[in-house]
């Protein structure tokens, strides 16, 4: 005998599953002193709203990176909250662009683009032409995205002019 599909039975199973998950979540959260209740982001800064469970249920505003590096404080959160806090603490580092070189000046000398590059770690300045900088992977990857685009477009334009010039001569 075939079992008929019953939307009411399916909804009932779904509701029961939801209740079980919620009950498990509530039980897990109840054994910890702190609970993450909200996360806000303003001016690229993430702020956690944490409730201190107890008599007054005080709400604290904390930065995820401050919480994640404090083992004693972190141990007061549920595993679910710890996972969220850890993830949020590294978000600003993931979004940041990491570079150690910037183009300080740019000028043309005998048809070549010359860049004055500044090392942000040592403040050292050095001159290098667009073609050489374009071909030096180690230097190129340490530039900001904006400067990298400038170098690549300059090098490609120069090479295009050289190719056109060599075709005219042949």
SS3 content of the chain, % helix, strand, coil (to 5): 50, 25, 25
Structure tokens at 108: 């043309």
Express as a percent the part of the chain with pLDDT over 70: 85
Helix or strand run (H / E) with residue 92: helix 91-95
Of residues 143 and 24, more confidence is placed in 143
Per-residue pLDDT tens for 110-129?
A: 888 999 999 988 989 999 99
Q: What is the pTM of this model?
A: 0.46
Per-residue pLDDT tens for 26-43?
A: 655 567 888 899 999 887
Beta-carbon count within 10 A of 75 CB:
11
Angstrom distance (rounded) from CA 84 to CA 1: 48
Confidence (pLDDT) at 69: 87
135-165 core/surface letters (b: 16 or more CB in 10 A; e: else): eeeebbebbbeebbebbeebbeebeeeeeee
For residue 159, which of 106, 101, 112, 118 has the smallest C-alpha distance?
A: 112
> Looking at the DSSP assignment, which residues form a beta bridge with residue 69?
none
Structure tokens at 148: 């990298």
> In the predicted model, what is the mean pLDDT of residues 134-162?
88
């Amino acid at each position: 005998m075939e079992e008929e599909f019953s939307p009411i039975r399916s909804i009932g199973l779904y509701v029961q599953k939801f209740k079980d998950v919620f009950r498990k979540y509530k039980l897990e959260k109840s054994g910890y002193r702190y609970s993450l209740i909200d996360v806000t982001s303003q001016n690229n800064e993430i702020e956690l709203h944490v409730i201190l469970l107890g008599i007054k249920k005080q709400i604290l505003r904390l930065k995820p990176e401050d919480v994640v590096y404090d083992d004693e404080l972190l141990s007061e959160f549920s595993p679910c909250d710890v996972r969220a806090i850890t993830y949020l603490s590294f978000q600003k580092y993931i979004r940041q662009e990491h570079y150690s070189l910037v183009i300080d000046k740019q000028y043309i000398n005998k048809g070549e683009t010359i860049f004055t590059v500044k090392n942000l770690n040592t403040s050292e300045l050095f001159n290098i032409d667009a073609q050489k900088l374009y071909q030096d992977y180690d230097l190129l990857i340490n530039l900001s995205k904006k400067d990298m685009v400038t170098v690549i477009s300059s090098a490609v334009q120069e090479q295009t002019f050289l190719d056109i010039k060599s075709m005219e001569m042949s």
